[in-house]
């Protein structure tokens, strides 16, 4: 396990787990932690031994948000660039799973929205309370939220600065599943096992196409999808999947 500013990184086989951990401060994410998280995601993306990344929090909480006072220590230009670091899970070519419990506020929700999958405990409280502090969400929160749940619903959450509990979060599609907190680890493990049976190349390409085209016109998305499909056609995993289907056997994907 390696320690950073307010979080740790542990590797277990093909899974790397990033744990936000700031005792006594509800795992608040400092400005330095934002920079380091971005760097760690880049390192994990380049590590061929890592196939999946899990982002979670210690002590039964994800995070209550960012270090508010720290915003005044950065220039207006610097705070205008905060979204780039928080987008690190989205840039990572590998599946990123957010394991959520307790508070998921501010930059915590923005980080979760940048992940590919969100599994949550019944006790979650999600929110973007920045407007109550004279701010707005500045690390991608307004843009990812509106694309995920629509304009009217995003306005209701952002402009009121209100909290969203588990049942509503599931209904809105903010999380993919809700469960007792003691079932989170099993759910994350089950999702990892399921994804492990798929080609890592296909997963990476699917993520890239979905992220690149989700806010673009249909014709652009179809063009990207077609090009990606053609690239995968040249891989071992594509041929292996086709041949295994024809031979009625489980495929053996190698990532090549």
| Burial (CB count within 10 angstroms: exposed 0-12, middle 13-18, buried 19+), residue 5 | middle
Q: What Rg value do the Cα atoms of the chain yield, rounded?
A: 19
Q: Using CA of residue 96, residue 100, residue 106, residue 107, what is the dihedral sign?
A: negative
Report the DSSP pairing between strands 7-12 and 2-3.
antiparallel
Paired tokens of 89: 């899970």
Paired tokens of 48: 């061929």
Catalytic residue numbers? 110, 130
Q: Which of 57, 36, 44 is nearest to 11 (CA)?
A: 44
- Do residues 52 and 97 lie in contact, with contact meaning Cβ atoms separated by under 8 Å? yes
Q: Which of 95, 83, 87, 112 is nearest to 20 (CA)?
A: 112
Q: Which of 228, 225, 202, 226 is nearest to 214 (CA)?
A: 225
């Amino acid at each position: 396990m390696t320690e950073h500013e307010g979080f740790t990184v542990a590797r277990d086989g093909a899974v790397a787990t990033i744990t936000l951990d700031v005792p006594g401060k509800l795992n608040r994410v400092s400005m330095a932690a934002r920079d380091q998280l971005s760097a760690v995601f880049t390192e994990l993306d380049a590590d061929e031994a890592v196939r999946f990344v899990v982002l979670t929090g210690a002590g039964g909480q994800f995070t209550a948000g960012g270090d508010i006072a720290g915003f005044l220590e950065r220039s207006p230009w610097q705070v205008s660039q905060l979204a780039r670091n928080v987008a690190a899970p989205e840039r990572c070519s590998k599946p990123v799973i957010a394991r959520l419990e307790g508070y998921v506020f501010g930059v915590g929700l923005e980080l979760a929205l940048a992940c590919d999958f969100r599994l949550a405990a019944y006790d979650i409280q999600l929110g973007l309370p920045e407007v109550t502090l004279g701010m707005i969400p500045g690390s991608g929160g307004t843009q990812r939220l509106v694309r995920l749940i629509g304009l009217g619903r995003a306005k209701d959450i952002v402009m009121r600065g209100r909290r969203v509990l588990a049942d509503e979060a599931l209904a809105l599609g903010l999380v993919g599943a809700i469960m007792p907190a003691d079932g989170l680890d099993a759910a994350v493990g089950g999702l990892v096992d399921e994804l492990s049976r798929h080609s890592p190349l296909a997963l990476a390409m699917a993520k890239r196409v979905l992220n690149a085209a989700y806010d673009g016109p249909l014709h652009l998305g179809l063009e990207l999808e077609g090009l990606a499909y053609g690239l995968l056609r040249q891989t071992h995993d594509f041929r292996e999947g086709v041949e295994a289907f024809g031979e009625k056997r489980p495929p053996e994907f190698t990532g090549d």
